[in-house]
Structure 1
Amino acid sequence: MAHHRSSTTKASPELVMPRLKKAIAPVPNGSRRRITNLSSLICFGLVITCIPNLISAQDEPPKRIPAPFMTYLGADWLERPGRISEERPDEMLAAMELKDGDVVADIGAGSGFHTRRMAKLVAPTGQVFAVDIQPEMLEILRARVEDEGLTGILPVLGEFDDPKLPDGRIDWILLVDVYHEFANPDAMLAKMRLALKKSGKVALVEYRVEDGTGDHIKADHRMSVHQVLSEWKPAGFDLIELHEFLPSQHMFIFQKANEDGSIEVSAQSVIPNHSLFEAISEGHVEVNASGQGTETVNLRIRRMRSEPMVITLPVGTYFEATGSGSDMIARRDGVIILQEDGPQTWTLLGRSVNRSRPAPEAQDRFEIHPADEQIPLRNVMWLFQGMNLHPMIGPVIEQLALWIVSENAGYDDLVEHASGVPIPVEQAVALAAAYTDSAGIDITQKQIWADRDKFVPALTDETLKKVFEARDPH
């Protein structure tokens, strides 16, 4: 894991099984390969790792795996002309309100794309610590700083678990598209707390999971608000701002939470943030859920307190239909900022759970259940949230896998829906079954396993065949 900008890591839509990573390996050039046409999609080689249980079928939600990092060989991508329009760095930095004399740290500085901009904002008396763990990346940064004639920039060679910043001196820490790569996030968060002044703040920018706007970036290089808060709050940070003005990224502003619960005079008010079920149980919100087809669920949610608040919802949250329509399940984490006095509409990405029941309509209502009440379904949805399947194929494979779990669907049950993808039906069903097994569900106990002779012999990819051979005790 290197501290650098991972926005270079474009999503590479693949027909692959996720690998169980024993070590986090660098990505030399950001893996920006795309599948650009139908013929290349169909001919794209399948790479299947025969590991039956990538996700444990335990009660605890699966843990986030740090993303692989890009090496200095991809540094030019960090300076691409289109990055300014894609990420709006000047607007992002303006939200930090940096001023002359500020001492700031750019962790994951890379080629210095943000470092150089911040140096101008804190000049002439401020300083920027430019932290990266790759010496080669710091050399690239130094060359660019010299070319632009900038001063006040101090390159720092950090370590995987230590940014090597001075204690108590930093006004602002900036992390843009890098936190998700930290191999040891707990240690890094602790070191950042030590480096900040009492009034110091952190600006964290990560590509979105929730609404699809960040889907051009690899799945393990995106983070949801739910994921971030679940890691930063226990580490002693309070959320004071959440900005959503960037095209594809969340921007969080954190300050240190005092251990005794007191608040610094100079500190901003903390934004209350809760999971949906916590907010409901504590009376902070009222919410109703209704249908909107087979791919989304609508919530009408009203805050019961006067101040704004952030509400999150985890992937796998279950929506039980009260009428004849299909149940639904959240296929992505969700987030909403409640800042209006009246009800707000919260649209969540979802999937239909019941193959034989009609699509939910606007008049259909749901009862909302926590994700841990449906652990196998939750694990399937969590698996797909973290993957990069081609958009022409991924939604169908995800739906097939969900029906294998929710309705014990067999091959004949899935054929019609599987016929809608530009790959052989047998391959689509095999992929859905293999992913289901990877989510911790034993497919040898499912009807799809009993039906394997209907599709496995037709597979032309030998590696995919081996997934089923490895699961066959005979």
Structure 2
Amino acid sequence: MKLKLVLFFVYFSCCFSACHPQQNDAVLKSTAKKPDYTIGKASEDGIGKFYLGREIAHVMGASGSDWLERDDRDKEENTSLAIAKIQLPVNGVVADIGAGTGYYSFRLAAKVPQGKVYAVEIQDEMIALLKNKKQQLKDSVVDIIKSTVLSANLPPNSTDLAIMTDVYHELKYPAEMLRSIYNALKSDGKLLLIEYRGEDASIPIKALHKTTVAQLNKELNANGFKLSFKGDFLPIQHFLLFEKIKKPSDKAE
């Protein structure tokens, strides 16, 4: 597993370099107007934009679709257990944000046969893959939604659970996206983050693609969420469930 993961991130570092040339300084500075965003020197795997002290990682491109659907993903990450631990009523509404190929989306659909899964994705290539898979599976539960860097584009007060699997650390505008998710969640709605454990140096994932509970708490607390459940049962990832506590502050606007 370690060799595969290391090779994967070496490969995608090359993809990022090709797909994300040096960003224009004026563009970067324009994103630093909010007090919690700062601009600094970009690391090999980052965009040079920081949120509450954490550098934001490059987005994985659609060329990684095969890796998302690899045969041994369940063995490496125990995705079956992660999905089993997700509690939803049969008529629940769940949003898979950064859905990618729909690996989680279509598996979650089986848990809400009378409900809905929003597969939220920003990349056109991934959206095409989602539409093709939906057609192949003859699915009637998953709705595909195109997001923006600022918003998940979900209906307000519509969602029981939003989930991001190895996605949050790549959000270019985390505060704005969290506000969008906050507004989409019902009053008792939850947000689940599944992220590689940044506290564990033995996990062979590059630093910007791992996160710590302390940093996630800092960022989520600043945007109206608090940690309600911390699961330590996955091999290499955090399973963190957040609930709404208050309306995000004006400084996140």
Tell me the TM-score range normalised by the shorter chain.
0.7 to 0.9
Q: Which residue of 2 aligns with 1:173?
A: 162
RMSD value, Cα: 2.6
> Partners of 2:179 and 2:52 in 1: how far apart?
23
Offset at 1:96? 1.8
Amino acid at match of 2:86: M
> How far does the alpha carbon of each residue in 1:154-197 deviate from its partner, in whole angstroms, 9 at most, with x for none?
10010001110000010000100000000000000001000000
> How far does the alpha carbon of each residue in 1:189-220 deviate from its partner, in whole angstroms, 9 at most, with x for none?
00100000001011101001112243x22221
Q: Which residue among 185, 189, 195 is the counterpart of 1:196?
A: 185
Q: Which residue of 2 aligns with 1:364?
A: none
Q: Which residue among 129, 139, 148 is the counterpart of 1:159?
A: 148
Q: Residues 9, 254 of structure 1: CA spacing in aligned structure 2 closer, same or farther, 3 A cutoff? A: farther
Q: Which residue among 66, 88, 91 is the counterpart of 1:98?
A: 88
> How far does the alpha carbon of each residue in 1:223-266 deviate from its partner, in whole angstroms, 9 at most, with x for none?
0111101100111101100011100001100010035xxxxxxx
Aligned length: 213
Q: Which residue of 1 aligns with 2:34?
A: none
TM-score with structure 2 setting the length: 0.78
> Partners of 1:252 and 1:149 in 2: how far apart?
32
Q: Which residue among 56, 74, 90 is the counterpart of 1:66?
A: 56
Q: Which runs of 5+ in 2 are unaligned?
A: 12-16, 25-39, 43-50, 248-253
CA contact (8 A) 1:10 1:218 kept: no
Q: Which residue among 129, 132, 146 is the counterpart of 1:143?
A: 132
1:13-32 equivalence runs, <5 A: 23=23
> Partners of 1:141 and 1:100 in 2: how far apart?
22
> Partners of 2:222 and 2:7 in 1: how far apart?
29
Does residue 231 in structure 1 map to residue 229 in structure 2?
Answer: no
Q: Which residue of 2 aligns with 1:112?
A: 102
Amino acid at match of 1:197: K
Amino acid at match of 2:137: E
1:385-404 equivalence runs, <5 A: none
Offset at 1:141? 1.1
SS across alignment from 2:57 = coil
> Partners of 1:222 and 1:23 in 2: how far apart?
23
> Partners of 1:168 and 1:253 in 2: how far apart?
18
TM-score with structure 1 setting the length: 0.42
Identity %: 35
> How far does the alpha carbon of each residue in 1:49-69 deviate from its partner, in whole angstroms, 9 at most, with x for none?
xxxx949xxxxx982111111
Amino acid at match of 1:110: G
CA contact (8 A) 2:196 2:210 kept: yes
> Partners of 2:59 and 2:164 in 1: how far apart?
14
> Partners of 1:195 and 1:10 in 2: how far apart?
33
> Partners of 1:230 and 1:245 in 2: how far apart?
23
Offset at 1:148? 2.0
Bigger Rg, which one: 1
Amino acid at match of 1:149: K
Q: Which residue among 237, 243, 250 is the counterpart of 1:255?
A: 243
More strand by share: 2
> Partners of 1:229 and 1:154 in 2: how far apart?
30
CA contact (8 A) 1:237 1:257 kept: yes
Offset at 1:23? 3.6
SS across alignment from 1:98 = coil
Offset at 1:99? 2.6
Amino acid at match of 1:84: D
